[in-house]
Amino acid sequence: MRTSIATVSLSGSLTEKLTAASRAGFDGVEIFENDLLASPLTPEEIRARCADLGLTIDLYQPMRDVEALPPQEFARALRRARHKFELMRRLGAGTVLVCSSVSPHAVDDDALAAEQLGALADLAQESGIRVAYEALAWGRHVSTYDHAWRIVEAAGHPALGTCLDSFHILSRGSDPKGIEDIPGEKIFFLQLADAPLLAMDVLQWSRHYRCFPGQGGFDVAGLLRHVLRTGYDGPLSLEVFNDVFRQSEAGPTAVDAQRSLRVLQETVGLTAPPAPVVPSGFAFAELVTPDAEPVAALLAALGFARTARHRGKPVDLWQRGEARILVNTGPAERRDGTRLAAVGLESPDPEGAARRAEALLAPVLPRRRGPGDAPLEAVAAPDGTELFFCATRRPGLPDWRADFEDTASASDADDGWRVDHLSLTQPWHQFDEAALFHRSVLGLRPQESVDVADPYGLLRSRAVTNDDGSVRIVLTVGAAPTDDTAHAQHIALATDDVVAAARRFRAAGGRLLPIPANYYDDLAARYEFADGELETYRDLGILYDRDDHGTFRHCYTRTVGRVFLELLQRDGGYRGYGAANAPVRLAAQHAVRGFTGG
């Protein structure tokens, strides 16, 4: 189906919004009145600009407070409408959105509302325009889609239909099944938006917290299925009011919006892009650093061995058991220092994973390949992290290890070492985009968002995983664009014996993050431990947690650049990440300034 987006969903000038929508692959736009009023372009110039970009103008909006009014007020509304219809003629827009009235002058009289909307439609029809009447969730007398439809049906005018808006319907808890009773030809327009499930005033909820389908808690796909059963064949249009989107660059936001519609169409069976290829594990995590010495010292203290060197690039492979970390001393920004720049994901079908990613608008990354380099597929995540689709030791598929020349053997005493999860910090404005990306492109399942208290704000965190937990990625973001704690990244390494690992690390000269004694006093009050167990945790800085499935022990290294490492041990099927301990960890990192330097 055709796709459209309201200009209010994007930041910037009207010209910037139109350009972003076109480049992201949208077929049309809804012109929001405020964007037109603020534009230096004439309506004719806007029309020409849209045509040059391959965009149709699918809707002009909004027109407010025009129905169920006293005669004098309705006469003013018609005068205003005449001006708007002339403007729309110049603009080349054929449909206008009329919102249910919130005017204090409006009366609760459906017959009068139908009569006046019919008169408005008469005027619109003279200009070749259709009127799409929408129920605002906070409308004074009309606040539900079925009520709006009854008024449209009573008016019985060919130029009057209804506009359905998923936010207004789902935010009120209305049953969308009744949409199927509306003839498809009388649904003049469909606006789609998701939203997190919040307990707040619906107007504020609508104006600040809408998001793209798949990023919130509404069943937008279910609503769309009901709409499609009516025979509706108009565009799928996004109308999203969101404070973060208003501050974000229009181009990436438009791509995120288009991706959400592609996933939505796939969900309801309208399209069939390449199927998701769910990763089955971590092949490697790659650190880029201007100075390899601190990283090498950290890894060596953890018992990693430098086992291989890339044949043509300054990249070393460090390994312990199945945990592999690449250390890249190529170009890096000194101010960032060491950072987690790339992730290798084990994939049963790397080419299929890349085709899926490309179909959902993930940027495919060009690679500088030397003679004999493995033909790895790679895409960029929203935060810029490079994702490589790998097949390690998989017969018949290129192996990334072939690019490396062995220099030593991996440690025999691996104690079950592997990468348990990665924590990737997101730009403030891309948190919801990142969750949708990892779910739709990689096929990972998002878990509930968690808010974590930091001494200087609040961190938001959301994990995405595959079914068996062999791939876990934690997406985190700070409370504001200037929140420095949002720059922390970490690699979590699982071992069968975290106490032994911590002792060996410390004996080798490694520094563990010190944890306040008050934490252990509280731990003693909450849980019972074997003799000497709690003292061991206190000595090593090991934190402890339990859930319904098992126990979790973990500790942290000091930070190098923007990265720190976590050692952990899961027992009995523990499923979490120690979120209850995160405020203590964050405070400890602030205390040693570990989140900003080595």
Cβ neighbour number for residue 212 with a 10 Å cutoff: 28
From the annotation, which residues make up the binding site?
Answer: 134, 165, 191, 239, 421, 490, 566
Instruction: Give Cβ neighbours of residue 575 (< 8 Å, ≥ 6 apart).
Output: 469, 547, 549
pLDDT on residue 408: 81
Q: Could you tell me the two tokens for 493?
A: 């390494």
So what's the pLDDT on residue 491? 98
Average pLDDT for the chain: 92
CATH code linked to domain 281-591: 3.10.180.10
Token look-up 């399209």 returns 271
pLDDT at 48: 98
Amino acid (one-letter) located at 50: C
Residue 92 has what pLDDT? 97
| CA atoms of 298 and 566, how far apart (whole Å) | 12
Q: Annotated binding residues for a divalent metal cation, as ranges?
A: 134, 165, 191, 239
Considering the entire predicted model, what is its pTM? 0.91
pLDDT tens track for 476-524: 986 555 554 446 799 999 999 999 999 999 999 999 999 999 999 999 9
Low-confidence residues in the chain, pLDDT < 70: 331-336, 367-373, 410-414, 478-487, 593-598
290: Cα separation from own chain's centroid? 30
State the binding site for Mg(2+).
Answer: 421, 490, 566
Q: Are 379 and 362 in contact (CB under 8 A)?
A: yes
Q: Give the full edge-to-edge strand order of the sheet including 404-406.
A: 377-380, 386-390, 339-346, 281-288, 323-328, 315-320, 305-310, 404-406
| Exposure letters 418-435 (e unless 16+ CB within 10 A, then b) | bbbbbbbbbbbbbbbbbb
- Superfamily of the domain at 3-267: Divalent-metal-dependent TIM barrel enzymes (3.20.20.150)
State the pLDDT at residue 371. Answer: 61
Rounded Cα distance between 586 and 492, Å, is 15
Residue carrying structure tokens 């325009």: 129
- Domain range list for the chain: 3-267, 281-591
Question: 478 and 492 in contact (C-beta within 8 Å)?
Answer: no
